[in-house]
Structure 1
Amino acid sequence: RLIAALRDDNRRREDIRAALREIGDVDRMVGRLGVQRTTPRELRALADSLLRLPPLRDALRGLHAAPADALADHLEGLDEPANLLHEALAADAPLAMREGGIFRDGYHEELDRLRAISRDGASWLSEYQARESERTGIPSLKVGFNRVFGYYIEITNAHRQRVPDDYVRKQTLKNAERYITDELKRYESEVLSAESRANELEYDMFVSLRDRLMPYIPRLQQAAGALAAVDVLAGWAELSLRRGFCRPEFVETPLLEIEAGRHPVLDATLEKNFVPNDAQLAAPGATGQESPDRAVSVAETAEPSDPPPRETSAPLPSLALITGPNMAGKSTYIRQVALLTLLAHCGCWVPARRMRLGLVDRIFTRVGASDELARGQSTFMVEMLETANILHNASPRSLVILDEIGRGTSTFDGLSLAWAITEYLARRVRCRTLFATHYHELTELGDSDHGLEEVANLNVAVREYEDQIVFLHRIVPGAADRSYGLHVAKLAGVPREVLDRANTVLNELEKTFDRESRRPVLAAMQRRRKRQLRLFEEPEELIVRALREMNVDEVDPAQAAERLRKWRAMLSES
Structure 2
Amino acid sequence: MSTTTPLMRQYLEIKADYEDAILFFRLGDFYEMFMDDAVLASRVLGITLTSRNKGDADAIPLCGVPYHSSQGYIAKLIAEGHKVAICEQVEDPKAAKGIVKREVVKVVTPGLVTDTDTLEPKENNYLLAIAGQDSGYGISHIDITTGEFRVTQVETLAQVESELGSLRPREVLLNENESGRAIKKQIDSLLDGLMCSFLPEWSFEPDYVREQLCSFFGVSGLESFGCQELPAALQAASGVLFYLQQTQKGELRHIRPLQTYHTRSFMVLDESTRRNLELTATLLDGKKRGSLLGVLDRTVTAMGGRTLRHWIHYPLIDRDQILARQAAVAELVDESLQRIELIEALDGVYDLERLNSKIAMASANAKDLSALRSSLEKLPKLDDLLMPFGSTCLKEIRSRIDLLPELVELLDRAIVDDPPFVLRDGGIIKDGYNEELDELRTISREGKGWIAGLEQEEKERSGISSLKVKYNKVFGYFIEITRRHLDRIPEDYQRKQTLSNAERFITPRLKEYEAKVLGAEERMIDLEFNLFQEIRLTAATESRRIQQSAEALAELDALLSLADLAHERNYVAPQIDDSGIIRIEAGRHPVVEGMPLKEAFVPNDVHLDLEKNQLLIITGPNMAGKSTFMRQVALITLMAQLGSFVPAESARIGVVDRIFTRVGASDNLARGQSTFMVEMNETANILRHATSRSLIILDEIGRGTSTFDGISIAWAVAEYLHDNAQVAAKTLFATHYHELTDLALTRGRIKNYNVAVKEWNDQIIFLRKIVSGGASRSYGIQVGRLAGLPDTVISRAKEILRNLEAGEFIRAGEPRLGGSEKSPKKPENTQLSLFNTGLEDAFRARLESIDLSNTTPLEAMNILDDLKKLL
How would you bin the TM-score normalised by the shorter chain? Answer: 0.7 to 0.9
1:21-50 Cα offsets, whole Å, 9 max, x none, are 132222332343344433432332221111
The partner residue of 2:549 within 199, 218, 223 is 223
SS of equivalent residue, structure 2 residue 542: helix
Which residue in 2 is equivalent to 1:454? 749
The partner residue of 2:729 within 431, 437, 447 is 431
The partner residue of 1:381 within 677, 681, 684 is 677
Structure 2 CA distance, aligned partners of 1:369 and 1:502?
26
Which residue in 2 is equivalent to 1:15? 341
The partner residue of 1:330 within 622, 626, 641 is 626
Matches within 5 A, 1:120-519: 123-132=449-458, 137-140=461-464, 142-145=467-470, 149-153=475-479, 156-159=485-488, 163-164=491-492, 167-170=493-496, 179-189=505-515, 198-269=524-595, 273-284=600-611, 316-428=612-724, 429-446=727-744, 450-513=745-808, 517=844
Aligned pair 1:79/2:405, yes or no? yes
Residue identity opposite 1:83 in structure 2: E
Contact 1:5–1:65 (Cα < 8 Å) also in 2:
yes
Contact 2:587–2:603 (Cα < 8 Å) also in 1:
yes
Structure 2 CA distance, aligned partners of 1:173 and 1:41?
43
- Unmatched segments (≥5 aa) in structure 2: 1-326, 809-840, 850-871
Structure 1 CA distance, aligned partners of 2:515 and 2:786?
83
Structure 2 CA distance, aligned partners of 1:117 and 1:504?
101
SS of equivalent residue, structure 1 residue 259: strand
The partner residue of 2:368 within 35, 39, 42 is 42
The partner residue of 1:60 within 378, 386, 392 is 386
How many angstroms does 1:413 deviate by? 1.6
SS of equivalent residue, structure 2 residue 462: coil
Matches within 5 A, 1:550-565: none
Contact 1:12–1:63 (Cα < 8 Å) also in 2:
no
Report how many aligned residue pairs link the two structures: 483
The partner residue of 1:3 within 296, 315, 329 is 329
Normalising by the residue count of structure 2, what TM-score does the alignment of the two structures yield? 0.52
Kindly report the root-mean-square deviation, in angstroms, between the aligned alpha carbons of the 2 structures: 3.0
Which residue in 2 is equivalent to 1:568? none
How many angstroms does 1:369 deviate by? 2.2
- Unmatched segments (≥5 aa) in structure 1: 285-315, 523-574
1:156-201 Cα offsets, whole Å, 9 max, x none, are 55545x535xx54445799997542344224445666766665554
How many angstroms does 1:112 deviate by? 4.8
Contact 2:588–2:602 (Cα < 8 Å) also in 1:
yes
Residue identity opposite 2:406 in structure 1: E
Matches within 5 A, 1:104-115: 104-112=430-438
1:76-116 Cα offsets, whole Å, 9 max, x none, are 34222223223322222344444444333443445456666
Contact 2:807–2:842 (Cα < 8 Å) also in 1:
no
SS of equivalent residue, structure 2 residue 382: helix
How many angstroms does 1:460 deviate by? 0.5
Change (3 A) 1:496 1:198: farther
Contact 2:339–2:560 (Cα < 8 Å) also in 1:
yes
Change (3 A) 1:273 1:157: closer
Contact 1:283–1:317 (Cα < 8 Å) also in 2:
yes
Residue identity opposite 1:163 in structure 2: E
193-202 vs 40-49, greater mean Cα deviation: 193-202
Change (3 A) 1:409 1:143: same
Change (3 A) 1:233 1:507: same
Contact 1:143–1:151 (Cα < 8 Å) also in 2:
no
Residue identity opposite 1:434 in structure 2: L
Residue identity opposite 1:327 in structure 2: M
Change (3 A) 1:258 1:270: farther
Residue identity opposite 2:463 in structure 1: P
Structure 2 CA distance, aligned partners of 1:465 and 1:330?
21
452-461 vs 64-73, greater mean Cα deviation: 64-73
How many angstroms does 1:484 deviate by? 0.8
Structure 2 CA distance, aligned partners of 1:117 and 1:452?
95
How many angstroms does 1:7 deviate by? 2.2
Change (3 A) 1:37 1:371: farther
Residue identity opposite 1:251 in structure 2: D
Which residue in 2 is equivalent to 1:27? 353
How many angstroms does 1:144 deviate by? 3.0
Contact 1:441–1:520 (Cα < 8 Å) also in 2:
no
Normalising by the residue count of structure 1, what TM-score does the alignment of the two structures yield? 0.77
Change (3 A) 1:198 1:319: farther
How many angstroms does 1:227 deviate by? 1.1
43-52 vs 21-30, greater mean Cα deviation: 21-30
Contact 1:48–1:86 (Cα < 8 Å) also in 2:
no
482-491 vs 90-99, greater mean Cα deviation: 90-99
Contact 1:7–1:241 (Cα < 8 Å) also in 2:
yes
Whose RCO is larger (CA < 8 A, sep 6+)? Answer: 1
How many angstroms does 1:259 deviate by? 0.7
Which residue in 2 is equivalent to 1:550? none
Contact 2:376–2:403 (Cα < 8 Å) also in 1:
no
489-498 vs 237-246, greater mean Cα deviation: 237-246
Structure 2 CA distance, aligned partners of 1:356 and 1:173?
90
Change (3 A) 1:154 1:366: closer
Structure 2 CA distance, aligned partners of 1:95 and 1:414?
65
1:103-151 Cα offsets, whole Å, 9 max, x none, are 33443445456666777775332112234566xx433283433756442
Structure 1 CA distance, aligned partners of 2:580 and 2:786?
41
1:288-342 Cα offsets, whole Å, 9 max, x none, are xxxxxxxxxxxxxxxxxxxxxxxxxxxx311111111110100000100010001
Change (3 A) 1:189 1:479: farther
Q: In percent, how many aligned pairs have the same letter?
A: 48
Structure 2 CA distance, aligned partners of 1:263 and 1:453?
29
409-418 vs 263-272, greater mean Cα deviation: 263-272
SS of equivalent residue, structure 2 residue 746: coil
1:232-272 Cα offsets, whole Å, 9 max, x none, are 21222222122111111012211101011111112222588
Which residue in 1 is equivalent to 2:224? none
Which residue in 1 is equivalent to 2:252? none
1:356-397 Cα offsets, whole Å, 9 max, x none, are 121111111111322221221112211222222111111111
Structure 1 CA distance, aligned partners of 2:530 and 2:735?
68
Q: Which has the larger radius of gyration?
A: 1
Change (3 A) 1:171 1:251: closer
SS of equivalent residue, structure 1 residue 273: coil
How many angstroms does 1:58 deviate by? 0.9
Structure in which a larger fraction of residues adopt helix: 1
